[in-house]
């Protein structure tokens, strides 16, 4: 379960315990940082915390000061500067050479509650949505730090920014975000209603993974995939293998229908598919139905020659399908758990446009720079960069 799903499920299961909780969100990063914009951590009054906003160096300070930063129920953005060479920074385990902008909010705030409910519904329905949040402003009716606009592909669904002077400008940025499926910081100017900085966040649906084959080697693939928060379907023609008891963590377990192999299974252009049936004739039949759906990723267990033979036998076009045969990264895997790691790691790399090589051989930054749109306002820059949090 990823951190957003973990936070949402905890808030749903423990409404009383979470009543006075503080939600922290990374809303912008300059330079190097362990987590990227959109990283979240929920701090509960009993001391528990879910998620993270760094590799562990900021969490302690954030937890100690969370209720102070949100005193009176007002959201606030604080900046942790980890680029200093001072002994104090290194003493606290920092030195990542970046600036991390963190939004602190009380969960019981009506705007936060609305946005979390919006996200919970979107996750349940597997829809991608955009949450646009003001993280700096110069003042204005209905516009304040933490004010949001909630948008999906059908339009505005709520948020305090609806009906304000910047709604139209934020909607345009939200549409761009929906199209690009990339989060960014939008700098609004006077011509767009008023100067403001808005974190426009793309929150995609859970990645869909369909595994054909319910053997013992599929079980660790499911476990790893669920750690990423993916939506996992396991399908097999053997009813005694495709059972909930064998795959308790899977979201969907299907017994394949002989005449209609994909009945009850959803495969779209965003789906990753892994074939591990160990059954050549069955794979041939399945591929005849899978290839027309054009999944984003198709991994085939077994030697590459086997897949070449299968594709020739099926005789359907494969253009636009990223086929990996044999499936998985070259990790020296020879046991089910290590093969599963290689498979899930490869899918993760492909989804993010990476090669899956050693980071020490990577040229340039590990993470892509946080995206900014528009020209930054000097007043807003000062407001954001002056009150750097002292780690004391």
- CATH number for the region 208-352 comes to 3.40.50.720
- What would the two tokens of residue 224 be? 């790893």
* Spatial distance between the Cα atoms of 33 and 31, rounded to a whole number of angstroms: 7
Domain boundaries, the chain: 3-108, 112-205+369-383, 208-352
CB count in 10 Å sphere of residue 390: 10
* Close Cβ partners of 145 (under 8 Å, ≥ 6 residues apart): 74, 75, 76, 77, 103, 134, 135, 136, 137
- pLDDT for the residue 33: 76
Nearest to 290 by CA among 301, 274, 305: 274
In tens digits, what is the pLDDT along the chain, a chain of 392 residues?
689 999 999 999 998 878 889 999 999 998 777 788 999 999 999 989 999 998 887 889 999 999 999 998 999 999 988 765 554 444 455 455 678 999 999 999 999 999 999 999 999 999 999 999 999 887 766 789 999 999 999 999 999 999 999 999 999 999 999 999 999 999 998 778 888 999 999 999 999 999 999 999 999 999 999 999 999 999 999 999 999 999 999 999 999 998 899 999 999 999 999 999 999 999 999 999 999 999 999 999 999 999 999 999 999 999 999 999 999 999 999 899 999 999 999 999 999 999 998 888 888 777 777 778 777 766 555 544 444 454 44
Residue spans of beta strands (DSSP E) within the chain: 22-31, 40-43, 49-51, 76-81, 98-106, 129-137, 148-152, 155-158, 184-188, 196-203, 208-212, 231-236, 252-255, 272-275, 297-300, 322-324, 372-373
- What would the two tokens of residue 215 be? 């053997």
Give 324's Cβ-side CA count (13 Å radius).
24
- pLDDT for the residue 84: 58
């Amino acid at each position: 379960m990823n951190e957003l799903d973990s936070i949402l499920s905890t808030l749903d299961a423990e409404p009383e315990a979470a009543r006075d909780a503080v939600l922290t969100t990374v809303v912008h990063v300059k330079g190097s940082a362990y987590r990227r914009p959109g990283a979240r951590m929920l701090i509960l009054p009993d001391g528990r915390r879910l998620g993270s906003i760094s590799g562990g160096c900021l969490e302690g300070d954030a937890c100690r000061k969370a209720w102070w930063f949100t005193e009176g129920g007002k959201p606030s953005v604080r900046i942790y500067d980890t680029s200093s060479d001072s002994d104090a920074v290194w003493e606290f385990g920092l030195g990542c050479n970046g600036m991390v902008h963190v939004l602190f909010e009380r969960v019981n705030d009506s705007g936060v509650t609305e946005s979390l409910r919006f996200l919970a519904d979107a996750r349940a329905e597997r829809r991608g949505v955009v949450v646009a949040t003001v993280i700096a402003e110069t003042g204005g009716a209905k516009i304040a730090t933490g004010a949001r606009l909630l948008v999906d592909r059908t339009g505005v669904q709520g948020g305090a920014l609806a009906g304000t002077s910047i709604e139209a400008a934020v909607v345009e940025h939200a549409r761009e975000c929906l199209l690009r499926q990339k989060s960014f910081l939008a700098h609004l100017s006077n011509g767009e209603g008023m100067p403001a900085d808005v974190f426009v966040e793309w929150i995609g649906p859970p990645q869909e993974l369909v595994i054909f084959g319910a053997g013992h080697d599929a079980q660790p693939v499911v476990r790893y995939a669920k750690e990423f928060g993916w939506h996992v379907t396991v399908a097999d023609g053997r009813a005694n293998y495709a059972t909930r008891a064998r795959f308790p963590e899977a979201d969907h377990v299907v017994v394949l229908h002989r005449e209609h192999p994909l009945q009850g299974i959803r495969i779209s252009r965003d789906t990753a598919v892994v074939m591990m049936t160990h059954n050549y004739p069955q794979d041939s039949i399945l591929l005849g139905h899978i290839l027309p759906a054009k999944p984003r990723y198709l991994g085939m267990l077994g030697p590459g020659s086997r897949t070449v033979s299968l594709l020739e036998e099926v005789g359907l076009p494969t253009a636009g399908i990223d086929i990996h045969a044999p499936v998985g990264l070259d990790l020296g895997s020879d046991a089910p758990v290590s093969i599963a790691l290689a498979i899930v790691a490869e899918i993760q790399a492909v989804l993010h446009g990476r090669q899956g090589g050693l980071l020490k051989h990577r040229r340039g930054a590990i993470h892509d720079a946080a995206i900014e749109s528009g020209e930054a306002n000097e007043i807003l820059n000062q407001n954001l960069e002056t009150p750097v949090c002292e780690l004391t």
